[in-house]
A and B are shown apart, each in its own frame.
Chain A
Amino acid sequence: MNEIKENQTKSLIQVRNLSKTYKRGNEKIEVLKNLNLDINQGEFVSFMGPSGSGKTTLLNLLGGLDVPTSGSVRIGDAEITSLSGKQLTSWRARHVGFIFQLYNLIPVLTAFQNVELPLLLTKLSKQDRKKHVEAALSIVGLGNRMHHYPRQLSGGQEQRVAIARAIVSDPSFLLCDEPTGDLDRSSANEILDLLSRLIQEFSKTILMVTHDPIAAERSKKVLHLEKGVLIEAQNKD
């Protein structure tokens, strides 16, 4: 391991022998089996695979929302599998931006207030928070919808607010679980354009689960999760 580290540029995300087994009564479900994965800073990676193959499970482990049965997940300098629940929480606040299929905006908060949430966990002043929120919302093209509530926005707009919320605190990487799964083709394309822009202009690292081959085509690398292991499908430039 040490030699590998010296020889290669260290990747942002290093997953080694990751296993996750769920217990349902007496039955054990092995969802992930000794899975290995390396993702570099600035990469856009898609995960595909049949329903129930463990894509969400993998994202949850990478995002520190769940703990593996065995194996290691190293992100940057942090071995997150050895963090306590409390440490994991503040690690998430600093390093991960989550984007969900159903947007998961807080319905009683405006777009501005939703995007501000991650910044409430920082030491930024109210004025600085306002600047960051406005910047994030203008990146996603919703500078004029700041004081709208989620119910006053279309699905595509809601997902853009969610993306603004995910990037506002400048995390190390974004985890998107079927971000276009609930959108029509044109809204989905807008979201995918936005994610591509985040890679190109802001050199974000994005991991995206999708069922949509068109969405997967946007990414540089597509990985298939089948029977608990990852298979690299294509490698475009």
Chain B
Amino acid sequence: MAIPIIYNIRSVKARYVSSFVAILAIAGVVSVFVAVLAMANGFRRTLMISGSPQNAIILRGGATSEIESSISLEQTKIIGDTAGIQRDKDGKALISPEVVGIQCFKLRSSGTDANVQIRGVSDNALKIRSQVKISRGRFFTPGLAELVVGSNAIKSYDGMDLNGKIKFGGEEWTIVGIMEAGGSSFDSEVWCDHNILRQTYKGNENSFQSVTVQLETPETFPAFKDAISLDPRLTVSVEQEIAYYEKRSEMVFTLIKVLGFLVAFVMGIGAIFGALNTMYSAISARSTEIATLRAIGFSERSILFSFILESLFLALLGGALGCIIIIPAHGQMASTINWQTFSHLNFSFAISTEILLSGMIFAFVMGFLGGLLPAWRASRMPVAVALRGL
């Protein structure tokens, strides 16, 4: 049987100052690590819930985002007639040809400029995107210069108030409603009538940038896609909306993650040295104890194991502390530039069980690496010399 774990736990407690240093270092790294993963996760979730499996988005062939895309008025009509699109009770296809633009507004928080995505939509937009609800005021009246502002956008920008007026694109707009989009990217957008917005952005009178349609069922998508692709009059690409947003999130998601891992890696090395130092000093302070255990008959291996365990115990405390420190950040708002559109996007930190688990695993890796060398040294200590207290 091995050296009882209680020996390590109590020793950690007995040397609490030194232990605390290692625990804090690990906690710091774990909280940063978890925060970064939560940020990447929150960002991705915001975009993912923007898309629905039942919707399809159509862009010009080869375009990777709405900004680069263009779809003519005729093409939107052909798309609207394609089989597989959901129709409302009047038999009208649930299709929203959309125009997107970027407009600069001052942030309430810093007074600096930020880009907001303005989306011109059809009056079907709310039916197609069922996650978007008008929470205050009303939807815009088609044909009027009216805006519906996302719940994050209304909080973020100076001069955006319900029933207030703002000017851009040579037009004076009235804010008539606020929409709640369930934390999706639409919460960071401003919506208006696509026909008005088309006129605002001159030269685009007869074209849109994307068409979003609601399909009868998510399973209709392959057939719909085939129909669109095979139509010789259309030079467009079709994607399921959820896949479209997933792809859009990929780059920033990866960027946040890579940067985050880099920071966590560098900090992690620091924490490993912290653990290393704590363990080395623990072992040199306890060399007589270790030699006594060896004299009693505990093997080199059980000493090695015992001290690795002790370091892992420090890591457990550090990891748990790090998680506890960062859990309150869950749901907190953050914002970033959406690199596809260069517009401002609000999202919230989303901590999940998997992320906390990765944080703990990271802590254990640091504890293991920090404990390995000291534990090895402890196990190889010459007993007779150590017993002399040299």
A binding-site residues for B, Cβ under 8 Å: 56, 60, 63, 65-66, 85-86, 89-90, 92-94, 96, 98, 100, 102, 104, 106-109, 113, 117-118, 120-121, 165
As a 0/1 sequence over residues 278 to 303 of chain B, the CB contacts with chain A under 8 angstroms (1 = contact) are: 00000000001100111111111000
As a 0/1 sequence over residues 292 to 319 of chain B, the CB contacts with chain A under 8 angstroms (1 = contact) are: 1111111110000000000000000000
Say whether B14 faces chain A, with CB atoms less than 8 Å apart.
yes
- Chain B residues, CB < 8 A from A107: 14, 289
As a 0/1 sequence over residues 1 to 35 of chain B, the CB contacts with chain A under 8 angstroms (1 = contact) are: 11110110011011000000000000000000000
Say whether B167 faces chain A, with CB atoms less than 8 Å apart.
no
Given contacts A106-B289, A117-B3, 17 further A-B contacts (CB under 8 A): A56-B388, A63-B295, A86-B299, A90-B297, A92-B295, A93-B298, A96-B295, A98-B292, A104-B289, A108-B11, A109-B7, A113-B6, A117-B298, A118-B296, A120-B2, A121-B297, A165-B296
Q: How far is the CB of B62 from chain A (nearest CB, A)?
A: 69
20 contacts between A and B (CB under 8 A): A60-B387, A65-B295, A66-B382, A66-B383, A85-B300, A89-B298, A92-B297, A93-B297, A94-B297, A96-B295, A100-B292, A102-B288, A104-B288, A106-B7, A106-B289, A107-B14, A109-B10, A113-B7, A117-B298, A118-B297
- In the bound assembly, the distance between CA atoms of A65 and B382 in angstroms comes to 9
Contact in complex: A65, B384 (CB < 8 Å)? yes
Contact in complex: B292, A60 (CB < 8 Å)? no
- Chain A residues, CB < 8 A from B14: 107-108
- In the bound assembly, the distance between CA atoms of A92 and B388 in angstroms comes to 18
A121 and B7 in contact (CB under 8 A), knowing A60-B384, A65-B383, A107-B14?
no
- In the bound assembly, the distance between CA atoms of A60 and B295 in angstroms comes to 10
- In the bound assembly, the distance between CA atoms of A85 and B388 in angstroms comes to 19
- In the bound assembly, the distance between CA atoms of A110 and B370 in angstroms comes to 29
What total of chain B residues lie within 8 Å of the partner, measured CB to CB?
Answer: 26
- Chain A residues, CB < 8 A from B289: 104, 106-107
Among B14, B292, B293, B388, max chain A CB count under 10 A is at: B292
Contact in complex: B387, A65 (CB < 8 Å)? yes
- In the bound assembly, the distance between CA atoms of A86 and B302 in angstroms comes to 12
- Chain B residues, CB < 8 A from A120: 1-4
- In the bound assembly, the distance between CA atoms of A92 and B296 in angstroms comes to 7
Contact in complex: A106, B292 (CB < 8 Å)? yes
Considering the complex, give the chain A residue whose CB is closest to the CB of B388.
A56
Q: How far is the CB of B142 from chain A (nearest CB, A)?
A: 77
Contact in complex: B296, A98 (CB < 8 Å)? yes
- In the bound assembly, the distance between CA atoms of A18 and B390 in angstroms comes to 24
- Chain A residues, CB < 8 A from B1: 120-121
A66 and B384 in contact (CB under 8 A), knowing A93-B297, A108-B11?
yes
Contact in complex: B10, A93 (CB < 8 Å)? no
Contact in complex: A108, B7 (CB < 8 Å)? yes
- Chain A residues, CB < 8 A from B288: 102, 104
Q: How far is the CB of A175 from chain B (nearest CB, A)?
A: 9
- Chain B residues, CB < 8 A from A98: 292, 295-296
Among B2, B6, B10, B387, max chain A CB count under 10 A is at: B387
- In the bound assembly, the distance between CA atoms of A85 and B379 in angstroms comes to 12
- In the bound assembly, the distance between CA atoms of A106 and B11 in angstroms comes to 10
- In the bound assembly, the distance between CA atoms of A117 and B7 in angstroms comes to 11
Among B13, B289, B384, B388, max chain A CB count under 10 A is at: B384
- In the bound assembly, the distance between CA atoms of A169 and B4 in angstroms comes to 17
Contact in complex: A117, B299 (CB < 8 Å)? no
Report the 6 A-B pairs with minimum CB-CB distance, sorted nearest first.
A93-B297, A108-B10, A66-B384, A120-B1, A104-B292, A60-B384
Contact in complex: A117, B293 (CB < 8 Å)? yes
Q: How far is the CB of B314 from chain A (nearest CB, A)?
A: 15
